[in-house]
Amino acid sequence: MLDKEKVLTILKDVNFPGFTRDIVSFGIIKNVDFIEKKTVIYIELPKEDEEVAKKIAVAINNAFSREGYDLPQFEFSVFKKANGQTPSDNSQNIKLPKIDKYLAVASGKGGVGKSTVAINLAIAFSKKIKNIGLMDADIWGPSIPMMCGINTKPMATKDEKIIPIEKFNIKMMSIGFLLGEEDTVIWRGPMVHGAIKQFIEDVEWEGVDNLVVDLPPGTGDAHLSLIQTVPLSGGVIVTTPQDVALLDVKRGIQMFKKLDVPVLGIIENMSYLQDGDKIIDIFGRGGGKAIAEKFEVPFLGEIPIDPEIRKGGDSGQPIVYADPESKTSKAFTKIAETIMENL
């Protein structure tokens, strides 16, 4: 005979469409009831989306059929944000720091320079407004320590909160601060959520008004965990002009829209190489702008291929800090100003 615990066990085999995380841990199952011998499942979606609702219903029906149970009934509703809450049961138990704005920097795939963009944007923000924070949520490949030239481990307060490391007038936190150079992180599912939650709840973000979050590439558990944990003010997606990178931008846009996070725009990195007066389109050009127009999201601008970006990242001196008057730094600054106007 079915009971609530058994139903939840079945539902744990159903993933949220487009992600690897199950719908129970995602927090959208609000209740399970039994009315006139019928199982009724109450589901609260992050936003109104008939296609997602249909996919979830089909997946649940398939799961019940595999177990040999009658198909359930569904009651769908849409989460309504209030007082900055996010659509997760887990968020009710998290004490959020007093941060006004959360900006997520994402990419559909790796290798497009997402972390480089996140770091330089944060520095550009810090030159215009105070109290900027940078959180490295790329727990599988943290790069902020090297790119910012940080080799020290963070201290803790008397109440055991982690104190962010401050550099370039930015308070920063990364799993890389806590690991050795040779350490490998192999985390999945609930462990990922726990790490993201700890970076929000157990880090002393006091004094930070605007937090830039460097997400892992792609779409997955870390993205869902962050969106569950904090009320994201918006997200930007970094791409390159190559077709293979542009194909993955679609998934990033769909992820943010599916979870009701405003897409503030697309940044095309490694857009072109300037050799004197000559512009060389090594990877093609204009793809980022074209896909932004296709999905009706803002195109924030182009970042050129610049050897100084690589040198700055390797030496721990990001280009916007090391050479603020360079053409590349001014491109980052202009994009940052556009984001600030719309965040």
What are the angstrom distances between the C-alpha of 144 and each of 48, 129, 141, 306, 307? 36, 21, 9, 19, 19
Torsion over CA: 141, 146, 152, 156 (sign) = negative
Could you tell me which residues come within 8 angstroms of residue 152 by beta carbon, excluding any fewer than 6 positions away? 165, 177
Q: What is residue 326's predicted lDDT score, i.e. its pLDDT? A: 94
d(CA 52, CA 38): 23
Which tokens belong to 290? 């074209």
Report which of 22, 189, 194 is spatially closest to residue 93, judged by C-alpha positions: 194
Q: Is the pLDDT of residue 143 over 70?
A: yes
pLDDT level of residue 218 (50, 70, 90 thresholds): confident
- What is the distance between the alpha carbons of residues 231 and 335, in angstroms, rounded to a whole number? 22
Which CATH superfamily includes the segment(s) 90-342? P-loop containing nucleotide triphosphate hydrolases (3.40.50.300)
Enter the DSSP assignment of 218. S
pTM over 0.85: no
How far apart CA 15 and CA 25 sit, in angstroms, is: 9
* Residue 192 scores a pLDDT above 70: no
| pLDDT (tens digit per residue) in 114-131 | 999 999 999 999 998 889
pLDDT bin (cut points 50, 70, 90) of residue 19 is confident
Which CATH number applies to 4-78: 3.40.50.1100, 3.40.50.720, 2.60.40.1220, 3.30.300.130? 3.30.300.130
Q: Report the range of poorest mean pLDDT among 40-49, 91-100, 281-290, 291-300.
A: 91-100
pLDDT of amino acid 120: 97
Could you count the other beta carbons within 10 Å of the beta carbon of residue 43? 20
Sequence ranges of the domains in the chain: 4-78, 90-342
Q: How many Cα neighbours within 13 Å face the side chain of 325?
A: 0
Q: Which residues have CB under 8 Å from 230's CB, separation 6+?
A: 86, 96, 99, 102, 200
Exposure string of 225-260, with b = 16+ CB inside 10 Å and e = fewer, is bbbbbbbbbbbbbbbbbbeebbebbebbbbbbbbbb
Q: Please state the rounded mean pLDDT for residues 225-245.
A: 82
